[in-house]
């Protein structure tokens, strides 16, 4: 908002206090309008390279939020979602949601280790995407969306994306960690996203993916397919991992959209959900309700006509995603 400078006393215009002659009033007015427009433009949350500037999500400023709320406020009462269309309501407990978790939002970093259970739904990537190693494994849903993403890139001429890494066993991660000791390029065994089958390393033949139009395309559009750049350069102080322009993580929609459009890494996103408890996100014409549950005494009520899925976050909570559409595709 433009404001005029304050003066100690504003005297009324009269014959005793004639106005000073103004030079070029139209030019001054145009300058004031220009200043207001520029100030408004800078103050809005516009993402560089955005494909849908009209669909930006408005979120609260999280700069003052703690990195990880150590003692989030517990909500013991039932968390209700609106009974849209007077639909029949079904109630799910924390334990029931954990039992059907797809684990797409598991946080794995230097502070949170890979859970000690077996991950299923891994598929061999040969036949899906280009790779130098056809035996690489990846979560099946992530692999399907990776193929869609590469097909989309090929439609504009980017035909040489390659997968170099996918799922890793603990032993493989240990060997890699020992080989790269001291470089910071390999996570400690038990703390690598590759061990949950949701992370993929991507290269492009003959170019540095961190400094290329192909790499920029991935950074700007991978969210459409449920992927995020996991370790951006300006967030290393939060992730604790050096910039890795090749490392993409599948989180599904609408989470990839929300994180990318609001410049959040997973650590920030989960902290944001823990504090806000429930948010709404619009993605491709569908409204999603995202609810965070942090205790086993919590339940969530969901209209029977709505699709939903749940994911543990590996910090003790569960993230429930509810779609108000009866057709969600592979989110």
Placement of tokens 């995603």 in the chain: 321
Q: Are strands 89-93 and 79-80 parallel, antiparallel or unpaired?
A: unpaired
CB atoms within 10 A of CB 324: 19
What spatial distance separates the first Cα and last Cα of the chain, rounded to whole Å? 40
To which H or E segment does residue 218 belong? helix 213-221
- What residues are annotated to the active site? 244
Placement of tokens 């990776």 in the chain: 146
- Closest by alpha carbon to 95, among 321, 302, 306, 293? 293
The rounded distance, in Å, linking the Cα atoms of 292 and 75 is 10
The rounded distance, in Å, linking the Cα atoms of 216 and 213 is 5
Q: What is the DSSP letter of 224?
A: G
The rounded distance, in Å, linking the Cα atoms of 266 and 31 is 42
- Closest by alpha carbon to 227, among 78, 331, 96, 80? 331
Q: Assess contact for 254 and 321: CB atoms under 8 A.
A: yes
Length of the chain: 331
């Amino acid at each position: 908002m433009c404001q005029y400078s304050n003066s100690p006393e504003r005297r009324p215009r009269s014959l005793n206090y004639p106005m000073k002659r103004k030079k070029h009033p139209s030019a001054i007015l145009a300058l004031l309008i220009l200043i207001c427009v520029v100030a408004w433009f800078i103050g809005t949350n516009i993402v560089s390279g955005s494909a849908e500037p009209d669909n930006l999500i408005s979120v609260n400023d999280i700069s003052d939020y703690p990195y990880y709320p150590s003692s989030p406020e517990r909500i013991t009462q039932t968390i209700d979602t609106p009974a849209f269309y007077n639909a029949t309501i079904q109630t799910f407990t924390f334990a029931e949601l954990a039992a059907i978790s797809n684990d797409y939002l598991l946080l794995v970093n230097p502070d949170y280790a890979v859970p000690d259970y077996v991950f299923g739904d891994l598929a061999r990537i040969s036949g899906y995407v280009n790779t130098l190693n056809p035996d690489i494994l990846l979560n099946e849903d992530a692999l399907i969306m990776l193929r869609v993403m590469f097909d989309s890139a090929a439609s504009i001429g980017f035909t040489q994306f390659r997968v170099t890494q996918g799922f890793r066993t603990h032993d493989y991660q240990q060997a890699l960690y020992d080989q790269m000791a001291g470089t910071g390029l390999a996570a400690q065994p038990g703390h690598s996203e590759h061990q949950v089958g949701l992370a993929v390393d991507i290269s492009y033949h003959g170019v540095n993916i961190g400094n290329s139009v192909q790499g920029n395309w991935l950074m700007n559009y991978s969210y459409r397919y449920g992927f995020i750049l996991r370790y951006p350069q300006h967030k290393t102080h939060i992730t604790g991992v050096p910039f890795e322009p090749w490392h993409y993580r599948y989180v599904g929609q609408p989470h990839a959209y929300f994180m990318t459009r609001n410049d959040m890494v997973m650590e920030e996103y989960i902290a944001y959900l823990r504090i806000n408890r429930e948010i709404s996100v619009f993605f491709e014409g569908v409204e999603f309700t995202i609810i965070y549950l942090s205790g086993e005494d919590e339940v969530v009520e969901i209209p029977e006509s709505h699709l939903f899925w749940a994911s543990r976050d590996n910090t003790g909570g569960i993230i429930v995603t509810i779609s108000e559409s009866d057709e969600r595709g592979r989110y």
